[in-house]
Amino acid sequence: MNYQCTRGHGDVGYSEQGQCLQCNRDRKNEWQNQHLYGWSIADRDAELVAQGSACPICGRTGLTWGKGFNDVWHTDHDHNQSGTHRGILCATCNLALGKLEPHLDKVMIYLEKWRKRNLPDGNLNCYDIADDGVGEETILQPSLRDRK
């Protein structure tokens, strides 16, 4: 039997029930975003634009939505509470955050010990401090020129 997608997806394949496979993927994606993360595809896309179409942790750009892992955007969310989202991250930052978040207090203690041992006078003088626009200061990585 020859099926025709009512949304104009063309010949992308059809299920045994005659459903367009692209439409099925779109419906699944919309359901996941709404139920797992609490936002629509349009809200998700607007969030990405609002954060400059870049990962807010490392600044990576040029990723897409879709299948795969490394070169696609990931919705950062609280795994203990469905229907939540915090932002959109690249795969590397999302994975790192997911692994480290349960131990964040220990990570901060570890980094503080390193900072006190390895920075002159134990202060942040070789780091650049930037205002993130919402009243929080962000510590940026030291540039190579600042390292001794």
Return the structure tokens found at 51: 């954060």
Alpha carbon distance 95, 67 (integer Å):
16
Question: What is the SS3 assignment for 20?
Answer: strand
The answer to whether residues 109 and 103 touch, using CB atoms and an 8 Å cutoff, is: no
The amino acid at residue 117 is R
The CA-atom distances, in angstroms, between 54 and each of 44, 91, 96, 123 are: 13, 12, 17, 29
The amino acid at residue 62 is G
Question: What is the SS3 assignment for 82?
Answer: coil
Note the pLDDT tens digit of each residue in 93-131.
999 998 998 898 999 999 888 888 776 665 555 555 555
Tell me which residue of 1, 7, 40 sits closest to 24, measured CA to CA. 7
The answer to whether residues 99 and 91 touch, using CB atoms and an 8 Å cutoff, is: no
Among all chains, which residue has been given the structure tokens 């626009």?
133
> What pLDDT is recorded for position 79?
74
Note the pLDDT tens digit of each residue in 15-46.
777 788 888 888 888 888 888 888 899 999 99
> What pLDDT is recorded for position 49?
95
Return the structure tokens found at 125: 């003088």
Q: pTM of this prediction?
A: 0.64
